[in-house]
Structure 1
């Protein structure tokens, strides 16, 4: 995802080629050398217009609800993000009678825009390096607990300081460069966020899991929200008296399109990359995280799919859970494929040999990496990590089983009710949330995952409830699960659970939960000390790399703080076959016909095929190709969290929304391959076309005022 001329240090540690197309850059301290390369590539904006001042481009970009990115596109606070980022909001407003997942949604007035209590957007207002301050406070001389306390205290103190100037601000402190640097970021959160427009799921998720992470794509992956504020244009909790937020900067939307080689830039909130990670860490990731994650989720999703396709009400309940599970199921499969096909572990080890030699032959005041210790530590951690991944995926929140969710909440602490002076009268209670889950699906998934766990994990790591299943239920997992749902108080919504009475530990569901916690406790004795030692060595490895390449600009791994990446519009070549760099209306119509013939993920409403079979698409048709262009490729550097990131041209105008990477480079979180790594975006003209011709959202089209 990018261009070529500079070698950037976040690039895979073993690659010694120069390039300028890789990098997730913090904006406040963007290296001048990088900016100059951006200008050479086609950026037409002054340096200061990217970050500095109220009218800087960064002020149009938002953290969307803590897991995605978005962009403000109007003077009245309209926000574009991906459909899959708004997925849960769309699902939560849907019922069988008013299925916005199936039918889409358009609020024809402000009054019809739908509030979302658990969502927000966050604007980054300022960022600065506070490494020197953290070091002066003795961070490196403290133990883990003391370090966490120090950062929390400093964060609270800095938040208090900014709130004295503006009560709506807060500060987050994050580690950069594997903990070698610390940055403080000031944010302003708006919690009144309302759903304004969405296309049907058939278009917003067109291609489903068949096309996820794949190219070519035709997915119309966008949704529209609006930020609301109080009468003073300040953040406020939801109120009917709130009014649309008026930002000082919003992104201008361009319908001029792009051509191959044109400058492209994303600004967003990439979640996590590990490009400084050692070869030993990559091996563990492959074998102990990706492999078991993909296996467990594949088993679970097979059951979920069957139930969801059989019942629309069940589908609505589980659409979001399934999408979350399937996304990184496929990502894990694709990443492992790339790790193996590229030979990343061996390439990384070759680089580490060079780094070891440099370290041994150079006088430096940085702490040296103990490569032998690092290898030994990872070997000891890998078994525990494999067990932990299986345990979490099978019985943790990721299992998507309501019984497991409740059991873990109970074990890890819920609100205590009752007489605070009498322990026996204190209780916990689960509210009725039966509208959020389906008993038949839930029980079958739970039984399947119980069976799958013991088939893939060594017996010494089996929770004690497996003895009960074997002796009392003759190994019948479904009978055991039915028994739990029937007898355990955990599934009795509204019933008081007295955790300080004798009957508490006699409950079969509590016994089940305690047996899981016993395995977690065993792992917790093994893993944290190993991870602390590993983190120290990985920190040294990052510092050594930067020091060895000190004449080059370096960016930190992603950590869900705002980053800029740049590059060009363009495709890639695989096996001598060019990918092309955009898709057209003809291509989606062709796939829709496959949907008519049974390909589930390509099914769409007849009106969609009619609209996209038009002979003339008017202002939304590309002037160069004469086609209605749907999705396009750039080589911008993105990862999870960048979903919904604005894709800008050289003038800082919005030309699309990033929504995916490509299957051929799913190892880019650890190894950026400039030949293959691509960012897939939905063309902003496709977005506007659907709002206009399908949604007839005239008021929104006018508000956006695209040129």
Structure 2
């Protein structure tokens, strides 16, 4: 199923494109989108958005820590992104004594900015099309594995040719299910420091209850800074490093905007699956996603019990819990939305039309595509359920940690003395890294709960798990009893026991370690494929590529954009409302106000508490220069931009390319948006930049940060 996930990442969408639909390559804007964007209100030229030789808008957009988007908003390398994007770094820097996650943090100067252990931003340099070069090397007689090997060999050459001696990171990616290839050149900066963050009661206001919902009242932002060496080059952390002088930084507008104003977003959307066949949608709705939802809730329940009892545990696990909770609600929302919109039925109609086209004499090479795809899904439905239970089990730390460290130790034991001296410090560093912040009672109980769920709900489970489940009769306490004994007899129980083992390592002890054996068994099952499954994968991948190729031939006059796969894209649309909602106090349902935020206030509540200082500012109407022209303080607003996960932290820009907001969520009604775009329902939820600046200036008193920005009034 892993290859299935990968090919979904690389798929394409081929339905008629609405004005606000599409995640577009910047290099194609002039040819495909510029006229539409001008009509809607864009006042920039394509060269001002994407240029290889001159500073342009793309130089201010960065990928943040490989999972979100951020933007450069000052000439001193100041980075703006979402609070939830910086959540793990803020939690890491927090302690029970200095709890920045709960209380917020604002550096008074550069020397007070805090360096997390690991945080990077990636600048996009350029991209180019290498489809002809790569596809000239493959033919239809190759198996999918042969094709993949040939392509990967050429990709390695292309990446080497364009990295300029290691200065750049180069990535060649497949699009339209292997029908096109582009390379992307990036420059990475690894010295990135925390500048400021509001308290979680603002940055995460509404919690899981409001997640994916509208109306929203969340101040979802945080600030970081990129550092470089004195020449502006990437450098590892050093006190001698200086704030980066970027090629381009965004101007920040506090002029406000109105309904139907132009809005565009640049960012790194992670994944859409809009070419997914009907069988894939049905598989997700009936088999894969329900397993994901159930397994996620299982981990969340155990984690929350421990987190509620201990503040340090809450800080150590805050990011992990938030991530699981986000996907839990997302997957359930997907199930509901895909059923409600009858998306699979709609796809079946498209596939029926494709089959009619493919059965014509000139298109016979595509005639078997749909039958092969349908056969694949029919034979992998149960496997998809199993894989999702197992995937969530393997996300528990103590299910994967013994395998990771045990494999490294096994390699170490097979080396000569000189090689061991080289490898051992790396293993010791990895031990420190993986055990940092682990709370053993929580880890043990999460692992027990996931093993019980996996062993009772999935078919064809890992052999060792099956034997153990039979031995303990899958009883309520069976897995707890087994794990108590296994942990006591394992070198992986604690960092101290593992360090003691490394002082005098023994291959037989490692081989017979109960947690190592369990971890190896789980990974082996995750990777196992029968010969029949391998053939199904091969046939499916060929058919899926042919489906995309055929659909583009069937409809040659349509404009196409590739599905999201964490490459830089532009999406454009308008500030636009949803139908009136009595829960929103605003005059029009495309924005929310601080009045509505205060109305949600519940003292002491984990999701709806808020600082008294913010309430005081509201009551005084002390909004400074950040109030709307009508007198209210804006908080969040809606646009109809086409985004998905990975776009979190993306800048929302007006027609002049000025920053007006920060994308952070979508709406539950359009949760099917990763599979099918609905131009009536799809909305992006954004933090109004005026609320961000108000919180920095009036609440935090960090006016020195405001002074750093280029404000447009």
TM over 0.5: yes
SS at match of 2:675: coil
- Partner residue of 2:591 out of 577, 582, 586: 582
Q: CA deviation at 1:97?
A: 1.0
Report the Cα distance in structure 2 between the residues aligned to 1:346 and 1:267, rounded to whole angstroms: 33
Alignment-derived partner of residue 686 in structure 1: 691
Alignment-derived partner of residue 482 in structure 1: 484
Matched, 1:38 2:37: yes
Q: CA deviation at 1:145?
A: 4.7
Q: CA deviation at 1:156?
A: 3.9
Matched, 1:406 2:407: no
SS at match of 1:30: helix
Judge which range, 255-264 or 235-244, deviates more: 235-244
SS at match of 1:178: coil
Deviation string, structure 1 residues 459-509 (Cα, Å, up to 9, x no partner): x42542443355369842211121122111122421336887333333222
Matched, 1:557 2:563: yes
Alignment-derived partner of residue 496 in structure 1: 501
Shift of the 368–108 alpha-carbon distance from structure 1 to 2, 3 Å rule, reads: farther
Q: CA deviation at 1:514?
A: 3.6
Shift of the 474–140 alpha-carbon distance from structure 1 to 2, 3 Å rule, reads: closer
Are the aligned partners of 1:384 and 1:523 in contact in 2 as well (CA < 8 Å)?
no
Are the aligned partners of 1:635 and 1:674 in contact in 2 as well (CA < 8 Å)?
yes
Q: CA deviation at 1:657?
A: 0.7
Shift of the 108–647 alpha-carbon distance from structure 1 to 2, 3 Å rule, reads: same
Shift of the 54–368 alpha-carbon distance from structure 1 to 2, 3 Å rule, reads: farther
SS at match of 1:248: coil
Report the Cα distance in structure 2 between the residues aligned to 1:499 and 1:515, rounded to whole angstroms: 22
Are the aligned partners of 2:13 and 2:561 in contact in 1 as well (CA < 8 Å)?
no
Are the aligned partners of 2:406 and 2:510 in contact in 1 as well (CA < 8 Å)?
no
Alignment-derived partner of residue 552 in structure 2: 546
Shift of the 410–435 alpha-carbon distance from structure 1 to 2, 3 Å rule, reads: closer
Report the Cα distance in structure 2 between the residues aligned to 1:119 and 1:461, rounded to whole angstroms: 37
SS at match of 2:492: helix
- Partner residue of 2:525 out of 519, 523, 533: 519
SS at match of 1:127: strand
SS at match of 1:573: coil
Shift of the 198–521 alpha-carbon distance from structure 1 to 2, 3 Å rule, reads: closer
Matched, 1:318 2:313: no
Report the Cα distance in structure 1 between the residues aligned to 2:627 and 2:361, rounded to whole angstroms: 59
Shift of the 304–38 alpha-carbon distance from structure 1 to 2, 3 Å rule, reads: same
Shift of the 417–505 alpha-carbon distance from structure 1 to 2, 3 Å rule, reads: closer
Report the Cα distance in structure 1 between the residues aligned to 2:647 and 2:75, rounded to whole angstroms: 23
Report the Cα distance in structure 1 between the residues aligned to 2:139 and 2:67, rounded to whole angstroms: 29
1:75-474 equivalences in 2 (<5 Å): 75-138=75-138, 142-164=142-164, 167-361=166-360, 363-364=362-363, 367-368=366-367, 370-394=369-393, 396=394, 398-399=395-396, 402-410=397-405, 413=408, 416-417=411-412, 420-421=415-416, 431-432=431-432, 434-458=435-459, 460-461=460-461, 463-468=463-468, 470-471=470-471
Are the aligned partners of 1:631 and 1:680 in contact in 2 as well (CA < 8 Å)?
yes
Alignment-derived partner of residue 642 in structure 1: 647
Deviation string, structure 1 residues 23-71 (Cα, Å, up to 9, x no partner): 0000112253421011111111112211124321111111111111011
Shift of the 451–627 alpha-carbon distance from structure 1 to 2, 3 Å rule, reads: same
Shift of the 694–34 alpha-carbon distance from structure 1 to 2, 3 Å rule, reads: same
Report the Cα distance in structure 1 between the residues aligned to 2:407 and 2:487, rounded to whole angstroms: 20
SS at match of 2:220: coil
Are the aligned partners of 1:573 and 1:676 in contact in 2 as well (CA < 8 Å)?
no
Two-structure CA RMSD over aligned residues (Å): 2.7
Are the aligned partners of 2:263 and 2:573 in contact in 1 as well (CA < 8 Å)?
yes
Report the Cα distance in structure 2 between the residues aligned to 1:575 and 1:544, rounded to whole angstroms: 44
1:54-65 equivalences in 2 (<5 Å): 54-65=54-65
Q: CA deviation at 1:129?
A: 0.8
Are the aligned partners of 1:582 and 1:633 in contact in 2 as well (CA < 8 Å)?
yes
- Partner residue of 1:610 out of 584, 609, 616: 616
| Alignment gaps of 5+ in structure 1 | 1-9
Judge which range, 462-471 or 443-452, deviates more: 462-471
Are the aligned partners of 1:171 and 1:185 in contact in 2 as well (CA < 8 Å)?
yes
Shift of the 622–472 alpha-carbon distance from structure 1 to 2, 3 Å rule, reads: closer
SS at match of 1:28: helix
SS at match of 1:296: helix
Report the Cα distance in structure 2 between the residues aligned to 1:171 and 1:292, rounded to whole angstroms: 36
Are the aligned partners of 1:289 and 1:385 in contact in 2 as well (CA < 8 Å)?
yes
